[in-house]
Structure 1
């Protein structure tokens, strides 16, 4: 499974044989069933995950006990409660496998060791975290400025597989709306 991560990184970066060996050494392959919480709120996230296959979400419980989905990720890509992972502080969110997930995982300590041994991986790691910041800023802006229909259309354009793999209630929460509102939008979009 590590070869998929190596290929992903090599699509934009040059890796030496030593870099590839370090990836195999530091990234542990794991398989989780659907609906499994793999990082719990109230705890420091243990791992940064690379998604080989499957869908993950970040969620927390709202004031009335409802689950609020703040992020859904599609393969490939990295996933965790980033701010809590980077700062080694307790997260207020859960990481859950929506579907069965094939993942590679690395601890913060191992990531630090790894990036200290490989300048290519240090640069790649910085790029991944920068992309995460840009994504979160863009998402905040879109939640504030786009209509529900515009957010939904953008989601299905950019991530069409999400509709077949993620429950509508999670998608609605992620888009900042109630499932009933999303159902109305879907009927309009798919007329």
Structure 2
């Protein structure tokens, strides 16, 4: 499992053998069954996850008690409630496995230790953070300027594996629409 993470990390950064061994030591392999709550709202996020395989979502409950999916991953990649994990504050978000999932996880304490011991890890962490900010800005812009059909077509084009592996109600919520609206869009596209 660690080889996928190390391959990703080393693709743009130079890690020493000692640094890669520290990554193997601190990133713990875990598996979760489909529809398992990994981290609950109302708690401080314990881990940053690297997704080897599977699909995970981040969601919160709105004022009407509806689940609002704000993020769905495409493996591989890092996943957590970032701002709450970084600041170690109570999160309003829940992390749930959509499918059976294989992950590597690291605690905030161990991540901080790795970053303090390794310039390559520090540089890598900064690049991951920058990618996260870029993704969130782009997603925010798309939600505000694209109509529902355009958002779905963009998701189909950019992340077709999400369409194939994630239930429609989560995709609809992620795209800011009701499942019925997404069903109409899908029928229109097929015809």
Which TM-score band (shorter chain)? over 0.9
Indicate whether 1:175 and 2:175 are aligned.
yes
Shift of 1:155: 0.6
Shift of 1:132: 0.9
Provide Cα deviations, 1:78-116, integer angstroms capped at 9, x if missing partner.
000000000100000000000011000000000000011
Mapped to 2, the partners of 1:185 and 1:13 lie a distance apart of: 42
- Counterpart of 1:107 in structure 2 is 107
Shift of 1:149: 0.8
Indicate whether 1:133 and 2:133 are aligned.
yes
Mapped to 1, the partners of 2:181 and 2:66 lie a distance apart of: 16
- Counterpart of 2:91 in structure 1 is 91
Shift of 1:59: 0.5
- Counterpart of 2:16 in structure 1 is 16
Mapped to 1, the partners of 2:190 and 2:162 lie a distance apart of: 16
TM-score by length of 2: 0.98
Mapped to 1, the partners of 2:90 and 2:133 lie a distance apart of: 19
- Counterpart of 1:32 in structure 2 is 32
Pairs aligned (count): 191
Secondary structure of the structure 2 residue equivalent to 1:161: helix
Mapped to 1, the partners of 2:25 and 2:115 lie a distance apart of: 13
Mapped to 2, the partners of 1:168 and 1:34 lie a distance apart of: 15
TM-score by length of 1: 0.98
Provide Cα deviations, 1:95-143, integer angstroms capped at 9, x if missing partner.
0000011000000000000011111111001111111111111111111
Secondary structure of the structure 1 residue equivalent to 2:41: coil
Q: Which runs of 5+ in 1 are unaligned?
A: none
Shift of 1:190: 2.1
Indicate whether 1:79 and 2:49 are aligned.
no
Indicate whether 1:119 and 2:119 are aligned.
yes
Which aligned runs of 4 or more in structure 1 are off by greater than 6 angstroms?
none
Moved more, 3-12 or 169-178: 3-12
Secondary structure of the structure 2 residue equivalent to 1:31: strand
Moved more, 4-13 or 78-87: 4-13
- Counterpart of 2:58 in structure 1 is 58
